[in-house]
Structure formats: structure tokens, C-alpha cells
Structure 1
Amino acid sequence: MKHVKWLSCCLLGAAVFAQAPPADTLVSPEVHPDRRVTFRLRAPKAAEAWLVMDYMPAGTRQPMTREGDIWSATMGPLEPGVYIYSFQVDGMTIADPVNPNVKLRARTSASMVEVPDTPPAIWEPRDVPHGTVEINWQKSKVINGETRWIWVYTPPGYERDPKRRYPVLYLFHGANDTAGGWTLAGHANFILDNLIAEKKAVPMILVMPFGHALPYGSSGTLTSNTDLYEKYVLQDVMPLVEARYHVAPGRENRAIAGLSMGGGQALTIGFRHLDLFSAIGAFSAAVPTEFEKEFTSLLADAKQVNARLKLLWFACGRQDSLFERSQKLADLLAASQIKHTFRPTEGAHVFKLWRRYLSEFAPLLFH
């Protein structure tokens, strides 16, 4: 009887497999030699379809045209870099169903396309020694026993010399992203691989925790999220990193940086703990609105801040809605005679810029 049941299961499995639909051969996205990109969607019953890309101004979208069952739109030529996009079909937003390059988020998801450069850009994989990216799982003592992931990059050759100690850059993502954002979309690992191979950056460890200490979309403010996240980084993340990895001791071997929400977190935590961090970076930062009020005493003591901070570097695109915050921060620091570098650029709130900012910031660290 057991043999009959086993045979029945096998036959049922074979029948299900035989009835599986054929693979969709649709190509999307297609990057053309002239850097134009065609996006396609099979949606035979749709009444309308639109393409939304990360560099577009808020509320704008590109209509897609229909030919048979296929909707398409061609954009560009586009500058080399990564682009995040999604489709809007009859009022519903979806990722590209045939593109495996998914942009993970804390809530919802989208798709990504890479437009390559010639020769390969600093954020593209090159034929150089590569470091390792590990995912560490940790039960947080600070955040209600929640098991959280921490992505950690170690540089090429890390495993060969256990006695060598490395400086650490704590690198934070933006709102509605995940701990994997700086690796999967930002290519931080390839950027460091290439900079190290060119001897433009000191070999370092990158630590990339999950930045939403409060659930994304909850009633908590960015300020309350940052306060809890600060405790999480200091009491959970840093002890794990310093126990598990070959970390060089001391504040001179620690830097903190981030993009958007993470840039605001880096500024806040960095200024609160000049005893722990010697360098701060902020990319398109959500600069805290109460920054001047909170750090009044530090702003009045430029001599102390300048003596402790080896580097205070921030950048933002002029087309970014957060640009005014960065400009006001630069003006405030200048008026307070605190040494800093503000790098205004062209561009919106996009990973294409944040990759560039990291590639400029990392070589300045740990000298």
C-alpha cells in the first residue's frame, strides 16, 4: 500500500510539473548600446500602464505604449549607474515581473537596472580581488528581543592575517530600505574593492545595520527612531562587531556615515558621540530640524569639535528636496567656524549619486 501511495505522489508531482506554464521569454529591461533602456510588461487585460523611475520628479511618470499583449517604454540615453523603477498598471504599482534584480524595501518592492559605463565605473565589478559580505543575525537586547540582520563587508585578504586589525565605517541606509540596500543597490562592496585595488582607500570593514528601529510607517517620528537606533547601534551592533571581527580599537579607527534618513542618523549619533567616532559622512541627508538646538554647546566650541573630528563631509544633489537642509547645515557650520566639506552636485535623491558620494568619501578616511 505504501508503494501505491508513493507512486501516486510521484505521478501527481509529474502531472503538476507537466502542467506548469512555459517560461516567459519577454526581455525587460533591455539596455541598448547607446544606453537607451526599453522596459516591457506583458499585461493583455490592462487598460493603461505607466513607468515610474527614481530620478523622475515626484508625481511624474512615463506612459507605456501597447502592441498586442505587450506594453513598453524606452528611456534615455541614461547616464551610467543604477536606476530603480516600477510599473503602474490600472492603478496598481508592481515590480517588473521578469526582472530578477529586485530592490528590496522595508515595505513594497521595485526593480533595478544597471546602465554600464566604459571602462567600468568605480561601482561596477572589476577584475580585482574581492572582499566578502556576510549577513549576521543578532537577537537585539535593545529592540524587544527582535532578531535583526547586519550586513558586514570585510576587505580582500581579511581572512589571511587574523592578527591584522581594520578600521570600521558604520554605514546607514535610508528610509524604507533594508540592511542590504548599500550592497544590493549601492554596490558599496565593489566600490571598496576597486578603491582598495587602486590604493585609493585604506582597507576597512563596512558595517551596515537595519536602520528602522521602529517599524517603517509606524506613528513614531524620525527623531524617536534615531534615538532608539542610537541605543541599538551602540549597545547591540558595535559589541557584536568588535567581538566577531578583527577591528582596530579607538575612535580614530571608527567612522559613521549614511544616506537620507541614515545621513541624519549619522550626523546625530556622530555629534552625540565624538568620543566614539572621528569622521562623519552624510549623503543627501535628512538633516535633523532640531540640529542647531540640540548641539548648541558644540557649535559654540569649534576648537573642541575641530580637534576631535578628522572629517565632516556631506553632499547633496541640487534637485533633491533635501538640498536646502544640507545648504543650511553648511551655512551653520561655516558661521560656527567648524571645519567641514559640503559637496553640492547635480542630481536627485537616487542611488546613482550615493554610489559616487561613497567613492569620494571613503578615500578620505583613516589617514
Structure 2
Amino acid sequence: MKRFALLLISVLFTGMLLAATVDTVSIYSNSMKKEIKTVVVKPARYGYDTQRYPVVYLLHGHGGGYANWITRVPHIQELADRFNMIIVCPDGAKSSWYYDSPIDPNFQYETFVAKEVPAYIDSNYKTIEDRTGRAITGLSMGGHGGMFIGFRHADFFSACGSMSGALNTTVITRGYNVEERLGDTATNRKYWEDWSVMKVIETYPKDSLAIIVDCGTEDMIVAMSRAAHEKMLKLKIPHDYIERPGKHDWKYWNTAVDYQMLFFRKHFDTVKKKN
């Protein structure tokens, strides 16, 4: 009996050790001259072997912050374990739209998320330091960020996605701070036109890019995902597209992230086999 009890304790202790761990780190942004917080979720086996891990950069929505995903969808820790990957949730400010603002030097979040955060992660964690081991996605504003950065930095990321993405920022002219990031719609018309995902996807990269877009059928902005889907079909851009019942809320994203992480894990595995 004593031996069984010791064995049980040993098993439970090992199980506790082999669980995802969550770091909250401060990353200095040279482009914005400030420290910005980021959540890093490491899979269970991290630290117990010598392997390097793929990374999914997971972006929050408008009004949110770096801690949104880990507090609202804590099972992303289980997803990190299940799919054996690192999940990184950087702060994109409440309304950066993941742009490098041409009018406000305090909002250079394309550079921060696409370059400064990955540079820190690659330097401090056991990552696959190659585009084949990097993906980026997010919800709502973060869905725009995932597609915007994924396409514009396809030499650095090999996969991107969107959950309930606000993919057409040209029509978001009031109420969501896009005008504060891009400036007047007349004076800075070029930014408004060229920096919407609907325009960005016209420049499909020479390196293949794995893409997943999903949205709830009752979502108030589902038309944006449908339009992006139709445009990519027209341009013959390979992608996965999903619609299922749901609204623009955390109930939907709680499940949507499962599909997205599975998609990225399969992508990483496919790329690994090819190499």
C-alpha cells in the first residue's frame, strides 16, 4: 500500500511538472521606446528535451490586451501541450490595428509584432528560427493583424489566419480608432486603401502561405470574411475557410482557436516532412 501511494504521488508530481507554463515578459520596443508586455505559453515538454518548437503568434482584438487570451480562453495552455508548440500573445494596444502609424510614432505595432517580439522570442526560447516554424493569427482587430502581417511579412511567417476578422478597415471610419492610426481619409488615402487586408491579399507572396479564415454566421462583420474568401477564390489563393454558428464573442473564439491551432500544427508537420 505504501509503495502504491508513493507511486501515485510520483505520477501526480510528474504530471504537475509536465504541464504548460505561462510566462509574462516585458519586451522593449526600440521603435516605440518602451517596454510592452507579452504572454508566452510553453508546452508541457519544454525544458525536458532539446527540441525546438514552432511558434503561433496569437493577437487580441480592439479594446483588448496581451492577457486577453490566457484569461478568457485559458485552455490555450492545453492547446500548447496537445500540439507541442509555443503560443505567444503580444500586446497590440487597445486600438493599434497592428499598423505602423504614419502619424503617431507611439503606435508602431506592425514593427513590434512582426519583428521585435519574434526577435525576443527567438533569442530567449527554443524556437524554430525559420519562417517554416512561425504562424500568426488573431480575433477581430487581431484577425486583421494576423492577415495583414502574415501577407506583408510572408518571408518571415509561413502561415496566417483570422478569427472574426475586421478585414476591411477602409469602411471603419469612425468608432474604432482607425482614423487615429492612419490619419485623415483624404490626406492619407493611400494608407487607407493599401493597408486594408482586402487590398493586401492581392499581393500573394512567392513563398507559399498557409491561410485559415473563419467567422460565425451570426457575426455582425461576417461579410468581411466572406468578401476576403471570395476574393482569394477569385485570385486562386489557396486557403481554408470556415463558417459555423456563432457571434462576435468569446464563446465563438473559445472554439475557433482550437480549429486554428490544429490547422497550424498540420501545416508545421507538412513543412517539416518536405524539408
TM-score (norm 1): 0.56
- Match among 211, 216, 221 for residue 92 of structure 2: 211
Question: Which amino acid letter does the alignment assign opposite residue 197 of structure 2?
Answer: F
Which of 18, 26, 39 is matched with 1:137 structurally?
A: 26
**1:187 maps to what in 2?**
74
Counterpart Cα distance in 1 of 2:221 and 2:250: 15
Aligned equivalent of 2:152: 272
Maintained 8 Å contact 2:246/2:252: yes
Give the letter aligned to residue 291 of structure 1.
V
Decide whether aligned partners of structure 1 residues 236 and 224 sit closer, same or farther in structure 2, where only a CA change above 3 A counts: closer
SS of the aligned residue for 1:256 comes to: strand
Match of 2:252 in 1: 353
Residue 296 of structure 1 is aligned with which of 174, 192, 202? 202
- Residue 315 in structure 1 maps to residue 203 in structure 2: no
- % identical equivalent positions: 28
Tell me how far 1:158 sits from its aligned partner.
0.6
Please, which of 36, 44, 48 is the counterpart of residue 160 of structure 1?
48
The alignment partner of 1:296 has SS state of coil
Letter in 2 for 1:308: S
Where do 1:1-367 residues align within 5 Å? 129-143=18-32, 145-161=33-49, 163-192=50-79, 196=82, 201=83, 203-212=84-93, 216=94, 228-289=108-169, 290-298=196-204, 304=206, 308-309=208-209, 311-365=210-264, 366-367=268-269
The CA distance in 2 between the partners of 1:221 and 1:354, in whole Å, is: 18
What is the rounded CA distance, in whole Å, between the counterparts of 1:222 and 1:361 in structure 2?
20
Label 1:323 to 1:204 Cα distance change in 2 as closer, same or farther (>3 A). same
SS at structure 1 position matched to 2:256: helix
Give, as a single letter, the amino acid of the residue that structure 1 aligns with 2:42.
T
Q: Which amino acid aligns with 1:288?
A: N
Please tell me whether the aligned partners of residues 92 and 98 of structure 2 are also in contact (alpha carbons under 8 angstroms). Answer: no
Instruction: Return the alpha-carbon distance in structure 1 between the equivalents of residues 130 and 98 of structure 2.
Output: 29
Q: Secondary structure at the match of 2:149?
A: helix
| Cα deviation, residue 223, structure 1 | 5.0
Show CA shifts across 1:182-228 (max 9, x none). 1000224334156x1xxxx3x1001110011xxx46xx777555982
Say whether the 8 Å CA contact 2:41–2:77 is kept in structure 1: no
Q: Where does structure 1 differ by over 4 angstroms across 4 or more consecutive aligned residues?
A: 126-129, 220-227
3-state SS, counterpart of residue 47 of structure 2 = helix
1:29-61, Cα deviation, whole Å (9 max, x unpaired): xxxxxxxxxxxxxxxxxxxxxxxxxxxxxxxxx
State the SS of the aligned residue for 2:108: helix
1:312-354 per-residue CA deviation (whole Å, 9 max, x = no partner) reads 1111112111100000001101111111111111111111111
Q: Where in structure 2 are there 5+ consecutive unaligned residues?
A: 1-14, 170-195, 270-275
Give the SS at the match of 1:147. Answer: strand
Task: State the structure with bigger RCO (CA 8 A, min sep 6), 1 or 2.
Answer: 2
Change (3 A) 1:179 1:337: same
2:79 match: secondary structure: helix
Higher strand share: 1
What stretches of structure 1 of length at least 5 have no aligned partner?
Answer: 1-125
Matched position secondary structure for 1:329: helix
In structure 1, how many angstroms separate the alpha carbons of the residues matched to 2:203 and 2:34?
36
Cα displacement (A) at 1:128:
10
Q: Is the 8 A contact 2:25 2:37 kept in 1?
A: yes
Structure 2 CA distance for partners of 1:210 and 1:313, relative to 1, 3 Å: same
- The residue type equivalent to 2:24 in the other structure is I
Give the whole-Å Cα distance in 2 for the aligned partners of 1:133 and 1:172.
16
> Under a length normalisation based on structure 2, what TM-score does the superposition of the two structures give?
0.74
Specify which structure has the higher proportion of helix. Answer: 2
